[in-house]
Structure 1
Amino acid sequence: MNAMRAITVIPGKQDSVALTDMPEPPEEDGPVLVRTRAIGICGTDLEIINGEYGTAPPGQERLIVGHESLGRVAEAAPDTGFKAGDLVVGIVRRRDPVPCPACAAGHWDMCINDRYTERGIKGRHGYASERYRIHPEHLVAVDPALGVLGVLLEPATVVAKAWDHIEKIGRRAAWAPEAVLITGAGPIGLLAALLAVQRGHQTYVLDLVTEGRKPEMVRRLGATYVHSGDLTEAAAEADIVIECTGFIQLLLDAKSRHPRYRIICLTGVSAVGTESVIDPGLLNRNMVLRNSVLFGSVNANREHYELAAKALAQADPRWLADLITRQVPLDQWPDAYARRPDDIKTVLGFPDVSP
C-alpha cells in the first residue's frame, strides 16, 4: 500500500476540496494503525473547505480534513492497550511543544499560548483518509454496541466539557439547578440536551423551526421544544443556559425573574463582524447582581472523551441513530459536504475492511 484515498483541501483556497491520493501515514505518527469507518461533517469542516481557515502540516500544501472520526484498529503494538478489531475514535487536539501549564497537565483544550495542533484543522492531518496512525494516548475505545454511532463521540465531547465546567463553576456555592435552556437543535444542541436530561434537569431546547425532525427529537428525550419567539419565557426559567448557535443577542437581552444565579456557556461561534446591540449596563447588572457567569467552551481533553463515551453508552441507541440524517459513501463524497435543510448530522462512510 503506497497511497490511500483522502479528502483534502488547500487551506485558504476555496473550491480546492478533492478526493486525492495521499502517502501512507508515516510510522512516526504512532504505533496504532487505524482503518477509518466514518467521518462526521460539521460546520468547521465546511468553513475550512470554504477557505476561511485551516493550516496544513509544515512543508505540505494540502490538509487532510475530518476531525469527527470513527475507525477500527488494523494493527497495534502489544503494549498499546489496543488490538486489531477495536472500535476507536481519535482525539483532535495535541498539546503545544513547550508545553504551557495547561497542556503539561493534560488540559490541552485550555492551551494558553495557541501553539497546539488539531487533526484536520490546524497543522496536522485529519481523519478523513482510508488509514491513519496514532499514539495510544490520543485514541479512545468505543463501546462496540454503538457501531457507527460512535462517530458521534467527538461532538459529544464538546458538550461533555461544557457540562464538566458548568458543574465545576456551580460548586463554588450551594447550588440546586432545576431548568436548563439549550439554544439550537443541531447535533451539539441535541447532545447538550441529552446530557441535561441524563442529569435529571427540566430541559428546554430552542430553535427556529416549528415542525419536523428537530422538535420531535427534543420531545423524544422528554425535553420541551421552544420556538424562538418564546425565548423570553424559557430563558426566565433557566438556571443554566448552553448556547449552541453563535447568536447570543437574545440571551444577553433576556431578563431572568429568578433571584438564583445562572451559568451561561457559549459553545457556538459567531461570524466575525456580526452586528448586535448589547446594553452593557444590563449585561453588567445581570452578571454582577445575580452572581452569574458567562463563559466560552471549545474542544475537549481526554477526560471529556471518556465522559462522552459513557453518556453515549447510556443513551437510547434509536435516538442516537436518528441524529444521523444522512450516511454518504466515500465515492459520493461531494454530497456529504452539501448541506440540506433537514440535516442534523451527515456522516461520510468509508469501506469497512476487516483488519
Structure 2
Amino acid sequence: MRALVYSAAWELSLQERAEPAAPVRDEVLVRVRATGICGTDLGIIGGEYAAKPGVVLGHESSGEVVAVGPAVRDVQVGDRVVIDPTFFCGQCRLCRSGRQNHCERKGETETGVSADGTMAPLHKTTERFLYTLPAHVGFEEASLTEPLSCAVTGANQLRLRPSLRTVVLGGGPMGVLYAWVLSSLGLTGTLVERAPGRRELCREVVDRRWAVAESLDEVCARYARDAAPLDVVVDTTGRMAGDVLPRLARGGQLLLVGLKRHEVPLDVGAIADRSLSVQGSIDSLDGSFATALHLIASGVIPARRLVTHQLPLTRFREGLALVGCDVDARRQGAPAGALKVVLQP
C-alpha cells in the first residue's frame, strides 16, 4: 500500500509499505477514508516538532472496519468509525494519576509521530480507541473529532464564565474549533487571524456571535480605558505569549496550545501579584473524545463547514500548499484560502 512517510525535516514521500498484519486479540484493522492535515503535521514537516524518521504521518482520521481480532466485541466488519489516536497504556504512573495524554509509553505509541499514522489506506489500532459513527456523520467531518477533542480538553482546564472577555489567537482549524467550544459554553469573544484569505473564511464558519479581527491590538483598542483588558486568551499560534501576558487583566488566564518552540521572558513576581494563570494543553483527556463526537453528531459544532478541501493522498503536496506548507521550497507561509484540508487515502 502507498503511505505518506516522513524521513527528515522537509523530506516526505509516498512510499510502498506492507499492509498491516491480520488483527489478533482486540486489534482492529480500519480502511482509512479521511485524514485531516494537522498543525502538528506541519510542525513535523518543518522540523519544529520531533517525529521518528520513517514514520507514516497522520492522526485525524475516520474509516471503515475491515477486519477484527477474536477478542473484539463492540465493533464489527463494515462499521464506520473514528479513530482516537491518543494511545495510553492505563498502567503507568502518569496514566494512573489522570494524565493519560502524557502516558509514559507515548514515545513509542504516538500515532503519526512515533508510531505509524493514518495517511495510508489501512491502519491497525485496538478496539478501545474506536468510536462508531452515527449514520448521518460523514467521514470528512468525523476526522475533526480528534482536534475538537483537544479543544474540549483545553477548555476544561480554564475557569470560565460567559461574561469574561475572551480571545482566540490563530484562525486555523484549531482556533476555529476553540471558538466554537467556548461558544458552546456560553462565551462570546474575538477570533484573531492576520492572513486576509483565512480571516474571511473564519467569518463564514465561526459562531455569528463571535467577532473576527486582524490583530490583538485591534481587539484591545475596543477597551481603551483598560491597559490590560483581557480575561481569557487561547493562543493556538505558539508565538504570542509575550504579547498577551501584559494585556491580561488581574486573574486573567492564558492557554497555550500551539506546538512551537518560542521563548519569552517571564516576570514571575508580576504573575503572582496579578493572579495570572498560564496553562498548556495537548491531546485528549477525561472523555473529551466522546464529547467531541457528540458535539459534531448533534450539530452543536458544524464541523463539516470547516472542511474546505478534499484531496486524494497522492495530491498531498497540493494539500500542504493550501495550508501554507511548500514542501519543495522548504518553507511555511500564509494559508492559501483553506481551512481544513482532508486527504483521502
> Normalising TM by the smaller chain, what interval?
0.7 to 0.9
Q: Tell whether the 8 Å contact from 1:177 to 1:240 is kept in structure 2 after alignment.
A: no
Q: Tell whether the 8 Å contact from 2:248 to 2:276 is kept in structure 1 after alignment.
A: no
Residue correspondence of structure 1 range 29-44 to structure 2 within 5 A: 30-44=26-40
CA distances 1:95-122 after superposition (whole Å, capped 9, x unpaired)? 369x432223563213468646201102
Question: What residue number does 2:204 align with?
Answer: 216
CA distance in 1, matches of 2:230, 2:282: 22
Query: With structure 1 as the length reference, what TM-score do the two structures score?
Result: 0.80
CA distance in 2, matches of 1:134, 1:295: 31
After superposition, the CA RMSD in angstroms is: 2.8
Unaligned runs of 5+ in 2: 325-334
300-309 or 226-235, which moves further after superposition?
A: 226-235
CA distances 1:236-293 after superposition (whole Å, capped 9, x unpaired)? 554322111112221012152xx5x22221111233xx465x4x44x632x3234331
Residue correspondence of structure 1 range 21-32 to structure 2 within 5 A: 21-26=16-21, 27-28=23-24, 30-32=26-28
CA distances 1:74-93 after superposition (whole Å, capped 9, x unpaired)? 23357431123322222223
CA distance in 2, matches of 1:176, 1:128: 39
Question: What residue number does 2:278 align with?
Answer: 294
CA distance in 1, matches of 2:310, 2:54: 25
Question: What residue number does 2:259 align with?
Answer: 269
96, 111, 126: which is aligned to 1:135? 126
172, 187, 205: which is aligned to 2:173? 187
Aligned positions, number: 322
Question: What residue number does 1:326 align with?
Answer: 309
Query: With structure 2 as the length reference, what TM-score do the two structures score?
Result: 0.82
CA distance in 1, matches of 2:222, 2:58: 35
Q: Is 1:63 equivalent to 2:35 in the alignment?
A: no
Q: Is 1:227 equivalent to 2:214 in the alignment?
A: yes
Question: What residue number does 1:198 align with?
Answer: 184
182-191 or 68-77, which moves further after superposition?
A: 68-77
CA distance in 1, matches of 2:25, 2:157: 31
54, 65, 73: which is aligned to 1:73? 65
CA distance in 1, matches of 2:308, 2:291: 24
CA distance in 2, matches of 1:215, 1:84: 41
Structure with the higher helix share, 1 or 2: 1
82, 86, 90: which is aligned to 2:79? 86
Read off the aligned partner of 1:39 and give its amino acid letter: T
CA distance in 2, matches of 1:234, 1:32: 53
Q: Is 1:344 equivalent to 2:336 in the alignment?
A: no
Question: What residue number does 2:330 align with?
Answer: none
Summarize the Cα distance change of 1:52–1:192 in structure 2 as closer, same or farther, 3 Å threshold.
Answer: closer
Task: Give the deviation of 1:196 after TM superposition.
Answer: 1.0
Question: What residue number does 1:312 align with?
Answer: 296
CA distance in 1, matches of 2:121, 2:35: 11
Q: Tell whether the 8 Å contact from 2:257 to 2:282 is kept in structure 1 after alignment.
A: yes
Read off the aligned partner of 1:264 and give its amino acid letter: L
Unaligned runs of 5+ in 1: 351-355
Q: Tell whether the 8 Å contact from 1:29 to 1:133 is kept in structure 2 after alignment.
A: no
CA distance in 1, matches of 2:109, 2:44: 15
Task: Give the deviation of 1:298 after TM superposition.
Answer: 0.8
CA distance in 1, matches of 2:96, 2:313: 38
Residue 341 of structure 1 aligns to a residue in which SS? coil
CA distance in 2, matches of 1:345, 1:128: 15
Q: Tell whether the 8 Å contact from 1:74 to 1:85 is kept in structure 2 after alignment.
A: yes
Task: Give the deviation of 1:134 after TM superposition.
Answer: 1.4
Summarize the Cα distance change of 1:262–1:13 in structure 2 as closer, same or farther, 3 Å threshold.
Answer: closer
Summarize the Cα distance change of 1:132–1:176 in structure 2 as closer, same or farther, 3 Å threshold.
Answer: closer
